[in-house]
Amino acid sequence: MRAVLNVVGALLLFMGTVWFFQGIGVLPGSFMSGQRRWAVYGGLADCVAVGTLWYANRAGRGRRT
């Protein structure tokens, strides 16, 4: 379960970062480019991803399952 959460968290972090940079106009060439809404969605996705990665690597500490 820990490995799955790490993979999901890493993919969500990558996706959220791409959304954020497209939303602020750094990564052009998409319908999301330059739209503030996607920057907000990307920031929220990054927050969820960091929380998921923290939980995945903190929750199992001290237990072997």
10-59 per-position pLDDT tens digit: 999 999 999 999 999 998 888 888 899 999 999 999 999 999 999 999 85
pLDDT at 16 (0 to 100): 96
Residue 63: predicted pLDDT: 58
Position 28 scores a pLDDT of 87
Q: What is the pTM of this model?
A: 0.83
pLDDT at site 29: 86
**pLDDT of res. 26:** 93
The pairs formed by 59-65 with CB atoms below 8 angstroms and a separation of 24 or more are: 59/2, 60/2
